[in-house]
Amino acid sequence: MEQQKQQFAISKYLDAGEVTRQLDELIKLPIYSIKPSALKEYEDEYFGKKCTKSKAMIDEAIDIIPGGVQHNLAFNHPFPLAFNKAEGAYLYDVDGNKYYDFLQAGGPIVLGSNPKVVREKVIELLEICGPSTGLFHEYEYKLAKKICDSMESVEMFRMMGSGTEACMGAIRVARLATKNKRILKMGGAYHGWSDQLAYGIRIPGSKWTQASGVPKKMFKYTDEFFPNDLNDLEKKLKRNSMKGGTAAVFLETIGPESGTRPVDYNFPKGVQELCRKYGALLICDEVVSGFRIGMSGAQGYFGISPDLTIFGKVIAGGYPGAGGLGGKREYMKYLSSGIGGEAKHPKALVGGTMAAAPISCVAGYYTICEIEKSGAIPRAGQFADKLIDGVNKLIDKYSLPFVAFNQGSICHLDTTGAMHFAINWSKPWGIPEVLKQTSARKQEMEHMGAAYMAEGIVTLAGSRLYTSGAYDDSMLDDILGRFDKIFANVEEIK
């Protein structure tokens, strides 16, 4: 058993209750952030003087690209930087500045950036057949087989263009399989940006309010339950059973927004039991956790067997076309498109010209093989343990209210608690206050992100850090030294 645990990125499961208590505390306190004079110095001396090529590029781009960049997770304060080199644990911007990369392209880079073993296979493929053919390719099978061999619940697999698309497909399959329409998701969780799942985004209880551009009617069959609350889930399942039943429960297994709000170790198992009791399919979203928490995913770590699993990011190894849906044969049959496509049962409408393109499949296959062979999952997790331990010592050193924790190689450094608010509809007059607070805290989160960036640390939105197999202990003191310098300049923001 102990040996088996070593295969996972998580060495010891966190105390979710204690982390939640600390986060509850954090949002009651005034905001602590980089002091305005230090931020101004970063803006003038670093961004103003050392990032001039980025600035010139973004000034032109903003004219034709809305906001100047096309990634929601790009840094905007004081302006986004342009990067043109990525290697292992490092990123380089167009001005030649070097950074530790804790964004990892938003999650896919479990091996570190641009590993030679994968790149060489991609180049080999490009020389022979180019990136796509629109027809079956050997690596389409090899990748599907590797994924099915790694995760027990995944008996069949279908590649799609993105995690968002896989979530959309999963809803259709679940509805066809159960003949029910209703979908439940955990408040705050992100399952891509499709209409029906743009519900309860970021803030639990926020319902449709964060889904600008989506008609409210789209959410007729979508509801959310409070994270880590089995009673609330059962209440919603019961309510749905009086209206015909629930087709599926979507679960980000480690907690919403990649565990920003961590759940108890037994929570996923509890969700599975309730799904079985009420006849709903359990859909685990492993877009971030798959091949990062373990070769068998977060589902392997928590000992659950979902009916369907959503894949994304790492399954194309950082190359385009990263999405897929896997699961039990009896449900996956609704996706058959080739032989058996005209079967007796109806077929879920899914598609994608570039889905399962050879370039995505070759990259994904060799990435997953190398993750397994090199032990990148536990190595990235162990590095993250040391990083968070060091960051917590610095938090104590400067008596800051910050909360830092990790689930394997997924680290959270919550300085403002911007992601920890929830909306209580029994007190709807509190909603404007929640939105005001989260917006002020998010702005300071961005200021912290700018300080990290200026000290050579790229994070995800100034509050999340992914580690990879490319990190090693020799980098630790240098990284922690940079955090030390930043934290020394933090004060209460008035």
Ligand X SMILES: Cc1ncc(COP(=O)(O)O)c(C=O)c1O
Buried b / exposed e over 359-398, threshold 16 CB at 10 Å, is bbbbbbbbbbbbbbebebbbbbbbbbbbbbebbeebbeee
Q: Tell me how far apart the alpha carbons of residues 80 and 201 are, in angstroms, rounded to a whole number.
A: 24
Cβ 180 to ligand X shortest distance, Å: 22
Cβ 256 to ligand X shortest distance, Å: 9
Cβ 108 to ligand X shortest distance, Å: 9
Whichever of 198 and 348 has its CB closer to ligand X, that residue is 198
Whichever of 404 and 410 has its CB closer to ligand X, that residue is 410
Whichever of 288 and 355 has its CB closer to ligand X, that residue is 288
Whichever of 97 and 296 has its CB closer to ligand X, that residue is 296
Cβ 74 to ligand X shortest distance, Å: 14
User: Which residues would be at the binding site for ligand X (CB under 6 A)?
Assistant: 106, 162-164, 167, 190-192, 252, 285, 287-288, 312, 322-323
Whichever of 93 and 285 has its CB closer to ligand X, that residue is 285
Whichever of 312 and 318 has its CB closer to ligand X, that residue is 312
Cβ 228 to ligand X shortest distance, Å: 16
Q: Closest-CB residue for ligand X?
A: 163
Cβ 254 to ligand X shortest distance, Å: 9
Whichever of 101 and 285 has its CB closer to ligand X, that residue is 285
Q: Tell me how far apart the alpha carbons of residues 221 and 223 are, in angstroms, rounded to a whole number.
A: 7
Whichever of 86 and 254 has its CB closer to ligand X, that residue is 254
Cβ 257 to ligand X shortest distance, Å: 8
Whichever of 51 and 356 has its CB closer to ligand X, that residue is 356
Whichever of 32 and 190 has its CB closer to ligand X, that residue is 190
Cβ 200 to ligand X shortest distance, Å: 13
Cβ 107 to ligand X shortest distance, Å: 7
Whichever of 223 and 285 has its CB closer to ligand X, that residue is 285
Cβ 165 to ligand X shortest distance, Å: 7
List Cα–Cα distances, 145 to 60, 140, 330, 371, in angstroms: 45, 9, 18, 16
Cβ 167 to ligand X shortest distance, Å: 6
Strand order through the sheet with 464-466: 403-407, 410-414, 464-466
Whichever of 284 and 450 has its CB closer to ligand X, that residue is 284
Whichever of 29 and 73 has its CB closer to ligand X, that residue is 73
Selection from 247, 209, 239, 206 nearest residue 224 by Cα: 206
Tokens coding 373: 């062979």
Q: What is the dihedral of CA 421, 426, 431, 437, to 10 degrees?
A: -30
Measured over all CA atoms, what is the biggest interatomic distance in the chain, rounded to whole angstroms? 69
Cβ 73 to ligand X shortest distance, Å: 8
Residue 443 phi/psi, 5° resolution? Answer: -65, -40
Cβ 22 to ligand X shortest distance, Å: 23
